[in-house]
A = this chain, B = another copy of it.
Amino acid sequence: MKHISSRDNPLYKRLMRLARGKREKGADAHAVQHVLLEGVHLCQAWLQHAGAPELALFDLRKLETQAELQSLANRLPAGLCHSCEPGLAAGLSQVEHGQGVYFLATAPTPVLPERIAHNCLWLDRLQDPGNVGTLLRTAAAAGIEHAYLSTACASVWSAKVLRSAQGAHFVMTIHEHVDLMALRRRLAIPLVATALDDAQPLYDAPLPAKCAWVFGNEGQGVDPSLLEQADMRVFIPQVAEVESLNVAVAAGVCLFEQRREHSQEL
């Protein structure tokens, strides 16, 4: 196993750029996107769902003492495993007590379907990485397998989104940088939006068994021109004098209400 002992190692510098959330040199929004996965749970999930990564990096001290890391290393082609000094591994970590394992991998780039007839999640300029991750986790738990994210959403494969999504990335097909107005024309099922004006209570009309759910920016909601294209606009009846729900909580209420209404069909 190759060992990295210096911060000046070019491979380590590349990982550090990714850990800091910087784009790789020369990359544009549509280029191949490299992802740095941290921790046993995420790396195992990647291996199970996507296969071997481009490379794996282990904290040498932890690799020598922890069975979980050894078992992970044993499942990988030896040529792509690297070890490094504990200080270097800690330098890459996004959490206080890192587990000492990182995968460098390539984010999947699924092709947009010509026609959308599957229950799906649309996110319009959701900016908070915690919200984006929690929305994906919630959608996955509700049985939604496809997500379409507009430009100006938090980057799906960033460390914070990966952490809050708790593995949803590996059971969903996620499209980024999508023009949702153009996507509307491919939709063979209703577009349902949450909105405060000109909307009906969530529980008033039956929800479609399959639809595209669109949730909008934390402050501004769904873009007005997209909202105009919605077949159904709903709101969650709540106490009037207080703030409306956090967008991920609102999505949970909507998606599980749909699931409840159609539970006989599952």
Which of A3-11, A14-22, A165-173, A182-190 sits within the interface?
A: A165-173
Q: How far is the CA of A251 from the CA of B238 in the complex (A)?
A: 14
How distant is the Cα of A137 from the Cα of B167 in the complex, in angstroms? 26
Q: State whether the Cβ of A106 lies closer than 8 Å to any Cβ in chain B.
A: no
With both chains docked as a complex, state the minimum distance between the C-beta of A257 and any C-beta of chain B, in angstroms: 8
Residues 125-175 (chain A) with a chain B CB within 8 angstroms: 130, 134, 137-138, 140-143, 164, 166-168, 171
Of the candidates B130, B244, B248, the one whose C-beta lies within 8 Å of that of A141 is: B244
| Pair A137/B243 contact, Cβ less than 8 Å | yes
A225 in contact (CB, < 8 A): no
Are A137 and B245 in contact (CB-based, < 8 A)?
Answer: yes
Count of this chain's copies in the oligomeric assembly: 2
Quick one: given A130-B130, A252-B253, A253-B256, are A263 and B245 in contact (CB under 8 Å)?
no
User: In the complex the two chains form, is B239's CB within 8 Å of A141's CB?
Assistant: yes
A78 is an interface residue with CB less than 8 A from chain B: no
Indicate if the CB atoms of A263 and B246 lie closer than 8 Å.
no
- Per the CB 8 Å criterion, the residue count for chain A at the interface is 35
Does more than half of chain A's interface fall in helix, strand or loop, or is it mixed? helix
Interfacial chain B residues near A130, Cβ < 8 Å: 130
Q: Which of B168, B238, B260 contacts A243 (CB 8 A)?
A: B168
Let me know if A142 and B239 touch, CB within 8 A. Answer: yes
The reply to whether A239 and B203 contact each other, CB–CB distance below 8 Å, is no
Task: Tell me the chain A residues, 223-243 only, with Cβ under 8 Å from chain B.
Answer: 236-239, 241-243
The yes or no answer to A250 lying at the interface (CB within 8 A) is yes
**Interfacial chain B residues near A168, Cβ < 8 Å:** 242-243
Q: Given B237, B249, B259, which contacts A248 in the complex, CB threshold below 8 Å?
A: B249
Which chain B residues lie closer than 8 Å to A140 at the CB level? 239, 242-243
- A260 cross-chain contacts in B, Cβ below 8 A: 203, 257
| Bound Cα distance from A239 to B255, whole angstroms | 12
Jot down 5 A-B pairs with beta carbons below 8 A, ordered by A.
A138-B245, A140-B242, A141-B245, A142-B238, A166-B243
Known contacts A141-B242, A257-B260; 12 additional CB pairs below 8 A are: A138-B245, A138-B246, A140-B239, A143-B239, A164-B246, A168-B242, A171-B242, A236-B256, A237-B259, A238-B256, A248-B248, A249-B249
Please list the residues of chain A having a beta carbon within 8 angstroms of any beta carbon in chain B.
Answer: 130, 134, 137-138, 140-143, 164, 166-168, 171, 203, 236-239, 241-246, 248-253, 256-257, 259-260, 263
